[in-house]
C-alpha cells in the first residue's frame, strides 16, 4: 500500500522533471518516523533550478526531484506509522503540542489529509534546527494546494525549500484523506482522491 501510494503520487507530481526516468524504488524500511520508502534517482538534479529573467531577476523553480521524493517518503512514513492511515480527530492539537515553535493554535488550518505532510515538513525543519524567531504567519488551502506563510529573522534556504516542497506536494495528496490526489477543477479547485472527488460527503 505505502509503495503504491508513493508510486502513484510520483507519477502525478514528477511529470516533466529532469531525470525522472532514473527513479527506482528500492523498498520500504522501518525508521524512527515510520516506514520509509527508499529510492534512488541518480539522474535527478539535487538543486532547485534558478531561473534568470530577462531583467536579471533570479527566481527559484519548483522543488527539486530529490526534495520532493524525500518529503513524500517522510509524509508516507508518518501516514503509515501506526499501521493504518487513520487521522485522529485531535491531529491539529497533537501537531501543535509536538511542534510548538512551528505551529500556533490556528495551524495547520487545512484538511486532515494534509496532516502527515505538515508533520513531515515540521520534522524535517526541526532536524536541522528551527531558525531563530521562526513564525508561521498563516496556513491555508488556496487554489487546491496548501499555503504555508512564514517569517524569520535569518536567511534559511533549507527551511524555504522544505516549506516550498510541502506546498508543492499538497497538490497531489487528497486534502480529505491523504490518499494520492489531484486538483479537480470545478466551481472550487480542491485536491481530492478519486473517492472524494466522486462524493462530497465521503470520509
Ligand atoms: Zn480522499
Above 80 in pLDDT, residue 199? no
Question: Which of 9-13, 58-62, 137-141 is predicted least confidently?
Answer: 58-62
Residues 96, 98: Cα–Cα separation, whole Å = 6
Ligand 1 centroid, distance to 156 Cα (angstroms)? 33
Report how far ligand 1's centroid is from the alpha carbon of 13 (Å). 17
CA of 5 to the centre of ligand 1 (A): 12
Answer yes or no: is pLDDT of 28 > 60.
yes
pLDDT at 58: 86
Distance (angstroms) between ligand 1 centre and the Cα of 129 equals 33
Task: Give the pLDDT confidence of 186-195 residue by residue, as tens digits.
Answer: 778 999 999 9
Helix, strand, coil percentages, rounded to 5, for the chain: 35, 20, 45
Q: Compute, in angstroms, the gap from residue 151 CA to the centroid of ligand 1.
A: 31
Q: How far is the CA of 96 from the centre of ligand 1 (A)?
A: 24
The whole-chain average pLDDT of the chain stands at 93
Tell me what pLDDT residue 200 has: 59
Q: What pLDDT score does 40 carry?
A: 98
**How high is the pLDDT of residue 109?**
96
Amino acid at each position: 500500500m505505502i509503495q503504491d501510494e508513493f508510486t502513484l503520487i510520483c507519477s502525478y507530481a514528477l511529470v516533466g522533471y529532469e531525470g525522472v526516468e532514473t527513479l527506482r524504488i528500492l523498498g520500504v524500511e522501518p525508521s524512527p518516523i515510520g516506514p520509509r520508502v527508499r529510492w534512488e534517482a541518480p539522474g535527478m538534479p539535487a538543486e532547485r533550478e534558478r531561473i534568470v529573467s530577462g531583467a536579471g531577476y533570479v527566481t527559484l523553480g519548483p522543488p527539486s526531484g530529490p526534495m520532493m521524493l524525500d518529503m513524500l517518503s517522510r509524509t508516507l512514513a508518518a501516514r503509515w506509522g501506526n499501521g493504518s492511515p487513520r487521522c485522529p480527530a485531535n491531529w491539529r492539537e497533537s501537531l501543535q503540542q509536538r511542534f510548538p515553535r512551528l505551529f500556533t493554535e490556528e495551524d495547520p488550518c487545512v484538511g486532515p489529509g494534509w496532516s502527515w505532510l505538515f508533520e513531515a515538513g515540521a520534522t524535517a525543519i526541526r532536524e536541522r534546527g528551527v531558525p531563530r524567531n521562526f513564525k508561521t504567519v498563516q496556513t491555508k488551502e488556496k487554489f487546491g494546494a496548501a499555503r504555508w506563510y512564514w517569517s524569520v529573522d535569518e536567511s534559511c534556504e533549507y527551511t524555504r525549500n522544505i516549506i516550498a516542497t510541502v506546498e508543492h506536494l499538497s497538490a497531489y495528496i487528497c486534502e480529505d484523506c491523504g490518499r494520492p490526489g489531484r486538483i479537480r477543477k470545478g466551481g472550487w479547485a480542491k485536491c481530492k482522491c478519486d473517492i472524494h472527488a466522486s462524493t462530497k460527503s465521503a470520509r
